[in-house]
Amino acid sequence: MNNDKRRYAPACDRNREPILEVLRNALPASGSVLEVGSGTGQHAVWFAPVFPGLQWQPSDRVDNLDSIDAWREHENSANVLPAMELDLSRYAWPEQRYDAVVCINTIHIVSWELVQALIAGAGRSLRPGGVFYVYGPYRYRDRPLEPSNENFDQWLKDRDPLSGIREFETINDLAGIAGLEFVEDRSMPANNQSIWWRRR
């Protein structure tokens, strides 16, 4: 019997190197990172060893925690903490303050209400000067959405009408309300973006 609880997402292997190059510039050298929506756990165990001065706290809904912890145990990741439950729909964030909040491929998956909860929660959870980093596809007011992302957006909405590719400018406005100052928006492979802000 196979007792391996690790789940595998091919997209994590495809995007981890480009994301890592951005995180090398965005993340502090030491401190603590809260990853929101850690999914399978693959990203946590890939990124954390590159930043030995950071404690990496993966989090997600309770049904994803076993996979995250299985990856942590398999990779023997010294600076990855046990997975923590963080369900955006419950608005219950840890009391601890972090030096960075990282959220990959989540904003276009969850409802708009949960996007708002994510950004507000990141603002509350960051120490002054802390970084909020997100990755995924975005719309922009000054140009049409790429054809591949138009198709992806329709697929998302067919699967869940509350999901969909969000508009960068609206997200940036929410970040400002949450006390976050825009730093960079970098184009990534496959029409994705790496965007990050700093806590004022």
List, for residues 14-30, the tens digit of each pLDDT value.
999 999 999 999 999 99
CATH of region 10-199, choose from 3.90.1300.10, 3.40.50.970, 3.40.50.150, 3.10.20.740: 3.40.50.150
Pairing of strands 192-199, 180-188: antiparallel
Distances (CA, A) of 24 to 28, 83, 145: 8, 23, 28
pLDDT (0 to 100) of residue 91: 78
- Two tokens, residue 137: 């596809």
* Single pTM value for the model: 0.97
- DSSP code at position 131: E
Q: For the beta carbon of residue 161, count every other beta carbon within 10 angstroms.
A: 9
Q: What is the DSSP string of 168-182?
A: HHHHHHHHHHTTEEE
Q: What is the mean pLDDT of residues 89-95?
A: 89
Q: What ranges do the domains of the chain cover?
A: 10-199
**What pLDDT score does 81 carry?**
98
The whole-angstrom separation of Cα 61 and Cα 127 is 24
Question: Does the pLDDT at position 3 exceed 60?
Answer: yes
Output the CA torsion sign for 116, 135, 143, 156: negative
Residue 12 identity (one-letter amino acid): C
Q: What distance in Å separates the CA atoms of residue 103 and residue 135, rounded to the nearest whole number?
A: 7
d(CA 84, CA 81): 8
The string of pLDDT tens digits covering residues 117-141 is: 999 999 999 999 999 999 999 999 9
